[in-house]
Amino acid sequence: MQAEPVDLIISSDMTRAKQTAEIIAEATHAPILLDSSLKEMDHGAMEGLLYADVNERYGGFLEFPYKELGGESFAEVEARAMGALCNYKKRYLGKNLVIVTHGVVLSVLLKNIKKISLAAAAEIRIGNAEIIRFYLGEPCTKCAGDLYENRAKKH
């Protein structure tokens, strides 16, 4: 990330994301803005359970009863994450931002950027600390989207 200047780091306020943002800030000297709308999905009563146990009790990842167990729906995560992204697009147009967030949030953002289904987005594997670059450009003539993805090579 040192190859390009970073104007601002926007991070989920959850511990692991904040720690990652602090490491990036140390290397880039960019300020950090914490945003709770970038936090990971609330899985409700399933928080802390092993994947195997959750799968056995509740079925597949996209079918888990998150909302019924006190968590969030994918639609709620998508609404807050896309709201934040749209806000940052307007507020920081022309700036280089680093956004530090979590797997489900990235999946719903990619769902919107790529114009794919939630099921297709859930199949995209995103590694820990993987860099995914989003570029703001002219609106696409086919889909009217203005954000484009470009994955950086892992280091």
Mind listing the pLDDT tens digit for each residue in 105-147? 999 988 988 889 999 988 888 888 888 877 766 666 666 666 6
Q: How far is Cα 25 from Cα 40, in angstroms, rounded to an integer?
A: 21
| Whether residue 11 has pLDDT greater than 90 | yes
- Asked whether residue 88 is assigned to any structural domain, the reply reads yes
- Asked whether residue 2 is assigned to any structural domain, the reply reads no
Determine the pLDDT at residue 73.
93
Determine the pLDDT at residue 137.
63
- Asked whether residue 60 is assigned to any structural domain, the reply reads no
Residue 77 belongs to domain spanning: 8-38+73-151
Q: How far is Cα 132 from Cα 143, in angstroms, rounded to an integer?
A: 21
Determine the pLDDT at residue 13.
97
- Asked whether residue 49 is assigned to any structural domain, the reply reads no
Nearest to 13 by CA among 42, 43, 33, 31: 33
- Asked whether residue 117 is assigned to any structural domain, the reply reads yes
| Whether residue 152 has pLDDT greater than 60 | no
Mind listing the pLDDT tens digit for each residue in 72-92? 999 999 999 999 988 998 898
State the chain's mean pLDDT as an integer.
Answer: 86
Phi, psi of 149 (to 5 degrees): -100, 145
- Asked whether residue 30 is assigned to any structural domain, the reply reads yes
Determine the pLDDT at residue 1.
62
Q: How far is Cα 40 from Cα 106, in angstroms, rounded to an integer?
A: 9
| Whether residue 155 has pLDDT greater than 60 | no
CATH number, position 83: 3.40.50.1240
Higher per-residue pLDDT: 17 or 135: 17
* Confidence category of residue 94, pLDDT binned at 50, 70, 90: confident
- Asked whether residue 139 is assigned to any structural domain, the reply reads yes
Record the tokens describing residue 63, joined without a space: 């079918």
- Asked whether residue 118 is assigned to any structural domain, the reply reads yes
Domain count, the chain: 1
